[in-house]
Structure formats: structure tokens, C-alpha cells
Amino acid sequence: MLLRLAYLGVTNVFAMLQLLPTSDRIKDIEILALRH
């Protein structure tokens, strides 16, 4: 259950990031997200 919620949260974050123009800040956020 908890893993499913975490997975949905991560997919939603990446979906929102895809809507934004790519920049160095977004890449840094992706790196931090993958690190955690």
C-alpha cells in the first residue's frame, strides 16, 4: 500500500516535470528525487 502511494507520487511528479520546460533546476530535482 505504502509503496503504491509512493510510486503514484513519483509518477505524478515526473508527469508535472514533463509539462515544464527543461532546465538545469529541473534536472537537479530529478537527480534528488532519484537519490531518495
pLDDT of residue 29: 80
Q: Does the reported pTM lie above 0.75? A: no
pLDDT number for residue 5:
92
Q: Residues of the chain with pLDDT > 90: what percent?
A: 17
Core vs surface per residue 4-16: b (16+ CB within 10 A) or e: eeeeeeeeeeeee
Q: What pLDDT sits at residue 21?
A: 65
pLDDT digits (tens, 9 = 90+) for 16-33: 877 766 667 777 887 888
Q: Which residue type does 13 have? A: V
The H-or-E segment that residue 25 falls in is helix 24-35
